[in-house]
Amino acid sequence: MKYDIAVIGAGVVGSAIARELSKYELKVILIDKEEDVSEGISKANSGVIHAGFNVKTGSMKSRFNREGLALLTKTADELGVKYKICRKLVIAKNDEEKPYLLKLLEQGRKNSTPGLSIIDRETIKTLESNIEGKWALYSEKTGIITPFLFTIALAENACENGVIVKLNTEITKITKEKESYKLFSASGELISESRWVINSAGCASDNIASLVGDNKFKIHPCRGEYFILDKAHSDMLNMAVYPVPPADGSGLGVHFTPTMNGNILIGPSAEYINDRDDLATTKKTMEQLKKEAYELMPIIKNFGFIKSYAGIRPKLFNSQSNSNFEDFHIAESDVNPRFINLIGIESPGLTSSPAIARYIVEDIIGEKEDLTRKKEFDGRWKGAAKIYDKNSDEYLSLVKRDSDYAQVVCRCEHVTKGEIKKALNNPLKARSLKAVKKRTFAMTGRCQGGFCLSKLIDILQKEYSIKTDEILRLR
């Protein structure tokens, strides 16, 4: 129950911090209120590895985006999580929008972003024949990664290296002792006592800070809704395509993003709401997404969407100026020593996450404590690679060892029973339909679980003795 460091929030940043801490001789606990990691902001976003040209020069976002760009790909390589440097276009529909591209180009150069250039309509068509635009900023270094899978890999690898992961645990009370902090759950249970607390609770980070009297932060939730195109249309797009964004700075505009799994994402919207848990998709917003998407890629009028979903951006609100801050807040509390707040970590938080983690460990904690590196640290994630990605010899060898790998459960995504069982045997003991979905992509294809749902329920019942109502509750 006593730890050196407690990390609250198991999104991509909290999980990256936990993994970085697991490289040292420290007792660490990672706590999240959900039944699995990556259930908040890190689950529902565009999954873009940002090159760094669209953030304000001199900001924390600029610094950590720049450092994170190299660190994220290095970390993904260590873990064995796939990513792709797919490139990106920011489209100006007319001459009136071109000055914004020039502004982005100049900002990118100040931010030391490599591989940027302005291209014309003819060059746009050679890169993306289905996109309409007169001018574009072309970025050679933008990439994509599956954000929830990267987060899962970080958290599971941290667990494999000694971090205790405590799920289904919402911290509702924190008491400040002489040399430590005590964290309590809603039931009054003492979850941990630790010298350091790292608050990376995403949309709840302001609430966590207020538990120790840090009341200056306020998160204003901004919902982003998306459409998903069937992967049958994956050849319609090669790279991420963005418009010139809205002038209010609420987001980067409705854009097209290819995914590592072959689908194309369309979105997000930018809707300021009061309920930070409201993940509804709305008819009005869906129609607006379609309208804006059709302007960039008219051909998609002929294609079907297989799903819609929404995520929340944790906009850090400035009550004094009645506006949103443009930057991350990452700092040790002014009033609570050894209590580190990470507030307003929105885009480019995914790209920045490994750099933020290194900064927290080396530059904040490491400045106050002598940290000893472990002699043994295994940075490779033990999660299952997709069978569909293996060659025939590897697949046959696997089937000979375990016949469950010959039984296809999800036809759309070619997921076998063996993969599902391995996913459910994860070190976090996250055993739910959502846990399976994020780790294997079962239920994410064209039929959205129409074929495989009953089979997945059967596996959870027979293999893990989980009751049907509990399975459906965590769907």
Helix axes 60-79, 147-160, angle to 10 degrees: 70
pLDDT tens digits, 136-195? 999 999 999 999 999 999 999 999 999 999 999 999 999 999 999 999 999 999 999 999
Average pLDDT of the segment spanning 438-464: 93
pTM: 0.96
Nearest to 422 by CA among 442, 392, 450: 442
Q: What does the alpha-carbon distance between residue 53 and residue 234 come to, in Å, rounded to a whole number? A: 26
pLDDT band per the 50, 70, 90 thresholds, residue 433: very high
Examine the pLDDT at 250 and tell me if it is beyond 60.
no
Mean pLDDT of the chain: 94
Half-sphere exposure in the Cβ direction for 26 (13 Å, CA): 29
Residue 324: the pLDDT is 65
Chain-centre distance of CA 128, in angstroms?
26
pLDDT tens digits, 100-146? 999 999 999 999 999 999 999 999 999 999 999 999 999 999 999 99
Half-sphere exposure in the Cβ direction for 48 (13 Å, CA): 30
Q: Which tokens hold the place of 22?
A: 């697991």
Strands 240-243 and 181-185: unpaired
Residue 428: the pLDDT is 96
Of 50, 233, 255, 414, catalytic: 50
Amino acid occupying residue 357: A
**Residue 255 appears among annotated catalytic residues:** no
> What does each C-alpha distance from 131 to 85, 136, 243, 256, 297 come to in angstroms?
19, 11, 11, 10, 5
Residue 390: the pLDDT is 72
Average pLDDT of the segment spanning 360-367: 98
Residue 67: the pLDDT is 98
Residue 320: the pLDDT is 59
Examine the pLDDT at 326 and tell me if it is beyond 60.
yes
Examine the pLDDT at 384 and tell me if it is beyond 70.
no
Nearest to 361 by CA among 179, 205, 158: 158
- Residue 309 pairs with which residues in a beta bridge? 226
Examine the pLDDT at 414 and tell me if it is beyond 80.
yes
